[in-house]
Amino acid sequence: MMYVMLEIKLKKISEMLNGTLKGNPDYLVSSISNPEKFINGSISPLWEKKFISAVVHGSVLLTKKNWIPAGCSGIEVDEPRLALISLLEYFSQENEIEPTGVHKSSVVDPSANIGKDVTVGPGSVICAGVSIGGNTILRGRIWVGIDVNIGSDCVIEPGVVLYDKIKIGNRCIIHANAVIGCDGFGFVPDPKTVMRRIPQIGTVVVEDDVEIGVGTTIDRATFGETLISRGTKIDAQVKIGHNCHVGEYSIIVAQSGLAGSSTIGKGVTLAAQSGVANHSTVGDGAVVASRSAAVSDIPAGMTVSGFPAQEHLQDMRQLAIIRHLPEIEKTVKSLAIAVKRMEQKNK
């Protein structure tokens, strides 16, 4: 595997980002640093004006127009954060692996169909009937089960387990130790065996341009499919139960959980540590706030919070009242005493 150290002139960055250059056009940039901890040979992104005072003298900045202070240089653009993404994409190329084929320590079944320029890193197992599209990278120590279909231009990080007969689309990124296609949690009480296990014979379909975070688990369907629609981004340590359907371009943040057969619409955001109850539906464009529980259906476009989740402003009003409960208690006690005195006086 070969890695490439990248350098780029400030003039070239300016052209790439359609920005305005202030300073030495031949300054070589090889990294990105924080504005308050500038490193020679780097460029520092700055998109919040309040941090200008913390900029180190002599820094090279990627920032908004007229924000470069005296003694500094850099590139001015309309949207520094968007420009930073383009710059990060450029520098991420130095971590890209050149295609190396199948590592000698990996095991590939003869029936597997391996596409052009596929990399299978050390210690991986590719089972019978697997199909892997061109330019896909399996970093190493990855299990790909029977009849799994992986699209083109995917990156699968170490320790990932892909159970039998699941489908991964094109340009997907699956981070380390994610498990996709394991059995859903299904049991029914039985007088003879206490709990009778429900066979899980369905599959998981992950569509194009999906990213799945570290340690995330996605269960196969009892029958039919668990679906992760295109463009969805899933953070680390997320649990998605059997037969869930997640709509296009949704965001599911760390430590969130979807119980079985729940449905997430298009463009939904589930913030960190939020949950959705089984058979519940979260409508298109809805937002479930951090540490909230959607125990019933959430209408499209609504922002909810709390446990159980309710309309966000209503939840905030209730929380505000709760914070004043000690004062309210004192007031109620004082009123009770006053009423009692009045009653005694009128006897």
What band does 122 get if pLDDT is binned at 50, 70 and 90? very high
Domains of the chain, residue spans: 8-95, 163-308, 319-345
What band does 111 get if pLDDT is binned at 50, 70 and 90? very high
User: Does the pLDDT at position 2 exceed 50?
Assistant: no
Tokens 């569509």 belong to which residue?
207
> pLDDT for 183-215, tens place per residue?
999 889 888 888 888 999 999 999 999 999 999
pLDDT of residue 247: 97
Beta-bridge mates of residue 194:
190
pTM: 0.81
> pLDDT for 259-270, tens place per residue?
999 999 999 999
More confident residue, 95 or 157: 157
In angstroms, the CA 102 to CA 220 distance is 28
Q: Domain 8-95, what fold?
A: 3.40.1390
**H or E element: which one contains 328?**
helix 325-345
> pLDDT for 6-23, tens place per residue?
788 999 999 999 999 999
What band does 49 get if pLDDT is binned at 50, 70 and 90? confident
Question: Kind of pairing, strands 281-282 and 263-264?
Answer: parallel
Q: Quick one: CATH architecture of 163-308?
A: 3 Solenoid (2.160)
User: Does the pLDDT at position 120 exceed 60?
Assistant: yes
The pLDDT of 155-166, averaged and rounded, is 97
The set of catalytic residues is 242
What band does 176 get if pLDDT is binned at 50, 70 and 90? very high
pLDDT of residue 94: 56
Q: How far is CA 306 from each of CA 124, 222, 265, 271, 298, rounded to the nearest angstrom?
A: 43, 31, 20, 12, 13
> pLDDT for 247-305, tens place per residue?
999 999 999 999 999 999 999 999 999 999 999 999 999 999 999 999 999 999 999 98
Same fold, 8-95 and 163-308: no
CB-CB contact of 206 with 222 (8 Å) = no
